[in-house]
Amino acid sequence: MARKKQTVLVAMSGGVDSSVVAGLLKRRGYDVVGVTMQIWQESQRDPRHSGCCSLGAVEDARRVARILDIPHYVINYKDTFRETVIENFIEEYAAGRTPNPCVQCNRKVKFEALLETMEELECDLLATGHYARIRSSKDGHHRLMRSAGGAKDQSYVLYMLQSEQLAKVMFPLGELGSKAETRAMAREMGLPVAEKPDSQEICFVSEAGGYREFLKKERPEMFSGGVLVDSSGAVVGEHAGVAGFTVGQRKGIGLTASSGRPLFVLKLEPGANRVVIGHEEELLQQEVVLDDVVWHREEVTEMAVDAKIRYNMPAQPATLVRNGTTKLVFKKPVRAVTPGQIAVAYRGQSVVAGGVIR
């Protein structure tokens, strides 16, 4: 008896990665259904050019689906996106933290909401254009791994995916060596997005002044004036709003040290409306405490790992400690540990745990 062909829902952002995924899976014999998330907000001045999942991205995804001869749907996730990603982004900045909206979008929209859509459309699997791999063990456990390419690896922004979710997900690009290889495949497939640049901006921020102007419009009270203090607490200047700063920032402080050495943001204190500044060596920190930790090795109490506290940071040797609280103790101090950002720990190629930096 012939095996039933599986149907895969492909999250199509209109970019080259997800377009190639749709083409690859069709070639491999799957029934492919494309879906694009409509998440742009009415507040955006021109939704055609606001990054992934914008109106322009929808048009690109539709063109690709037509070339591949697959069904394509646009589903409205605007309210979900507003409630789970944009509101979180605003609240985190109001609390003096620096959030990662792409991680929050992966958690609440691209996987939680899309997995529900996958089941509603009676598809078997969900595929995305992320560069990561999934490995399954004989006992049915599924674990997240780095991509084969290394240079293009997105396991950091997927750390929250647990075994039961990974069982329903595919990352076809995880075995590729580079983005150049993906673009070459897009050209070979005749896809019009082969040379489309990657989106670099926050997709819901269309203001010319970037995220600061966006926050000013959403929460003007976050930009009331306050004081700059040094690490001893002495007032050394003034600022125009705590939300305009992030830990590790150098430019835009508006103050020059009397020594002539550059100054950096060390800490944000929104309750006191203060920004703590100091010299670069004061940014170094050896221990990083994590909240909302997702574990992929439940038995861990202490383990040697490689860990990173920013997406583009090379992973550094550290010890992952789980004893009431969870923390990473780095072998060498790391620079600009930023509350609200994500830390992810690896053991070899596998993701061990990840969480939000306290």
Q: How many domains does the chain have?
A: 3
**Where is the domain boundary, 244, 263, 278?**
278
User: What pLDDT was estimated at residue 209?
Assistant: 73
203 is catalytic: yes
Q: Are residues 39 and 135 in the same domain?
A: yes
Q: Which residues of the chain have pLDDT under 70?
A: 1-4, 41-54, 200, 207-208, 257-259
Q: Are residues 321 and 336 in the same domain?
A: yes
292: its two tokens: 């909302």
Q: Model's pTM, two decimal places?
A: 0.92
**Where is the domain boundary, 135, 167, 189?**
189
Q: Are residues 102 and 250 in the same domain?
A: no
pLDDT in tens, 220-244: 999 999 999 999 999 999 999 999 9
Residue 209 lies in a domain: no
Question: With contact defined as beta carbons under 8 Å apart, do 153 and 132 qualify?
Answer: yes
Q: Are residues 83 and 38 in the same domain?
A: yes
Catalytic residue among 52, 53, 102, 105: 105
CATH of residue 266: 2.30.30
Write down the residue that tokens 């944000």 correspond to. 268
CATH of residue 342: 2.40.30.10
Question: With contact defined as beta carbons under 8 Å apart, do 246 and 265 qualify?
Answer: yes
Residue 200 lies in a domain: no
28: its two tokens: 């491999």
Per the structure, the complete domain to which residue 103 belongs is given by 7-189
User: What pLDDT was estimated at residue 271?
Assistant: 93
Q: Are residues 32 and 168 in the same domain?
A: yes
Q: Are residues 165 and 24 in the same domain?
A: yes
Question: With contact defined as beta carbons under 8 Å apart, do 340 and 100 qualify?
Answer: yes
Beta carbons within 8 Å of 113's beta carbon, 6+ residues apart: 77, 80
127: its two tokens: 């595929």
Full 3-state SS string of 286-348: EEEEEEEEEECCCCCCEEEEEEECCCCCCCEEEEEEEECEEEEEEEEEEECCCCCCEEEEEEC
Q: Are residues 67 and 106 in the same domain?
A: yes
Query: How does the average pLDDT of the chain come out, rounded?
Result: 91
Per the DSSP assignment, residues forming a β-bridge with 344 are: 308, 354
Residue 127 lies in a domain: yes
Residue 199 lies in a domain: no
**Where is the domain boundary, 214, 247, 278?**
278
pLDDT in tens, 195-206: 998 876 788 887
Long-range contacts of 259-266 (CB under 8 A, 24+ apart): 264/336, 266/231
105 is catalytic: yes
Q: Are residues 150 and 257 in the same domain?
A: no
Q: Are residues 310 and 337 in the same domain?
A: yes
Q: Are residues 264 and 343 in the same domain?
A: no
Q: Are residues 69 and 134 in the same domain?
A: yes
Please provide residue 245's backbone torsions phi and psi, each rounded to the nearest 5 degrees: -125, 160
